[in-house]
Each structure stands twice: as C-alpha cells, then as structure tokens.
C-alpha cells in the first residue's frame, strides 16, 4: 500500500483512515472542494434510481437488482453495485443494509475501498495495481464460468443480469484473490 508520507500528521495517519484521507488531500489540491467521508448510511428502497443522489444514502432497487450510492469517500462519484450471483449480495435485517463483497472504486481517482456492513462504512486497505488487475481478471473468469454453466444447465436466459448493465463491476474479493495468487505460485 502506498503511504502519503509527509502529507498527514498525528492520528490521521492511522491505517483505517488512510484511504479517505489520501483521497481528501488529492481532491482538495485539485479543486479546493473539501470532501466529507461518510461513516453511516441511510437506505431507500426504490423502483428506479433517482437522478440526484443524496450523500450517505444507499438506493436499493430490487426491480433492477441494483444498489447505487455516492462514493463514501466524499468524491461524489456514483457507485453502481449490481446484485447477482457473480456480483454483490445484499442483506437487509429490517433496519440496516449490508453489501458483500467489499466495494473497490478502482475506476475513480480516489481508489477508495470499503465494506458496507449494517449500514456503516468500514474502510479497507487500498489495493495495488497488480491486485486490481488480478481481481479484474478473476472476475472475468468467474463470470465466464458462471454464464457458461447457466447456459448449459438452464434455458432461462430471458432476464439479463444487472451485472451485464453495470457501469463499474470492479471490486475486490479477498478470498478469491488468495485463490488466484495460489494458482499463480
Ligand atoms: Zn471516492
């Protein structure tokens, strides 16, 4: 993991805050806009995802099997997490929402990486370029395998998976990453 040495001081250097602190620095330097990272999320069950997204809100569309929110680092990018057997899974316990696996916003400048657990943001380690590339390769293979299996096992292909429509399908899967590393070594 890259360290933003010299840019930060005091308790802000703690690893758990590393990702959004670094992101905040970059964004402030570029535009003067100060970002506020989100730690707690609300959720709204909707049919269609609204045009204007509120900060700190997860919009859950079961109709379109998709969850959308603004990046929790505060960079205001829109994060689309499709729900499917090869993408994310949502858990709703009646009060709070969790998404699995973690969300790695590798296509944004912030490269933020976090889990959403019980409507709270848990920050995770930023991935290296190699890890991101390997994760993407693994995702492609996992999807290929899944869709091939589906084609062979069932004729029900009328409903396209949300994953096929998603803008950003990149995210880490630490257990899969270990598997991939093991495969390489
Ligand atoms: Zn961000």
pLDDT tens string 3-42: 333 333 334 333 443 444 444 444 444 555 567 899 999 9
Asked if 82 and 46 touch (Cβ cutoff 8 Å), the reply is: no
Q: What pLDDT sits at residue 20?
A: 43
74 alpha carbon to ligand 1 midpoint, in Å? 6
Q: Is residue 22 part of a domain?
A: no
Considering 117-121, 131-135, 160-164, the range whose residues carry the highest mean pLDDT is 117-121
**Beta strand residue intervals within the chain, DSSP E:** 42-45, 57-61, 66-70, 78-82, 89-92, 97-104, 113-117, 120-123
Does pLDDT of 63 surpass 50?
Answer: yes
Which domain range does residue 140 map to? Answer: 38-185
Q: Is residue 111 part of a domain?
A: yes
More confident residue, 75 or 3: 75
Going from the C-alpha of 28 to that of each of 10, 22, 67, 77, 132, the distances in angstroms are: 19, 10, 28, 15, 25
Going from the C-alpha of 129 to that of each of 9, 77, 142, 176, the distances in angstroms are: 26, 20, 20, 16
Structure tokens that stand for 33 in this block:
């806009």
Q: Is residue 16 part of a domain?
A: no
Residue 13: DSSP 8-state: G
Structure tokens that stand for 136 in this block:
């993407």
Q: What pLDDT sits at residue 152?
A: 84
Q: Is residue 172 part of a domain?
A: yes
Q: Is residue 124 part of a domain?
A: yes
Q: Is residue 64 part of a domain?
A: yes
Total domains in the chain come to 1
Sheet holding 97-104, edge to edge: 89-92, 97-104, 113-117, 120-123
153 alpha carbon to ligand 1 midpoint, in Å? 39
143 alpha carbon to ligand 1 midpoint, in Å? 26
Q: Is residue 65 part of a domain?
A: yes
156 alpha carbon to ligand 1 midpoint, in Å? 37
182 alpha carbon to ligand 1 midpoint, in Å? 31
The pTM for the full model equals 0.65
36 alpha carbon to ligand 1 midpoint, in Å? 10
Q: What pLDDT sits at residue 109?
A: 95
Q: Is residue 17 part of a domain?
A: no
């Amino acid at each position: 993991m890259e360290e933003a040495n010299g840019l930060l001081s005091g308790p802000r250097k703690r690893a758990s805050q590393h990702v959004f602190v670094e992101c905040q620095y970059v964004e402030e330097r570029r535009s003067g806009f100060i970002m506020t990272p989100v730690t707690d999320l609300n959720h709204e069950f909707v049919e269609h995802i609204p045009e204007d997204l509120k900060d700190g809100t997860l919009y859950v569309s079961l109709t379109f099997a998709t969850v959308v929110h603004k990046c929790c680092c505060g960079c205001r990018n829109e994060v689309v997490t499709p729900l499917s057997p090869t993408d994310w899974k949502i858990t709703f316990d009646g009060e709070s929402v969790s998404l699995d696996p973690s969300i790695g916003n590798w296509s944004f400048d912030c490269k933020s990486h976090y889990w959403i657990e019980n409507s709270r943001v848990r920050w995770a380690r930023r991935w290296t370029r190699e890890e991101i590339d390997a994760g993407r390769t693994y995702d492609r293979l996992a999807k290929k395998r899944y869709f091939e299996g589906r084609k062979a096992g069932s004729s029900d292909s009328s409903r396209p998976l949300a994953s096929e429509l998603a803008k950003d399908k990149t995210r880490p899967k630490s257990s899969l990453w270990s598997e991939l590393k093991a495969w390489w070594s």
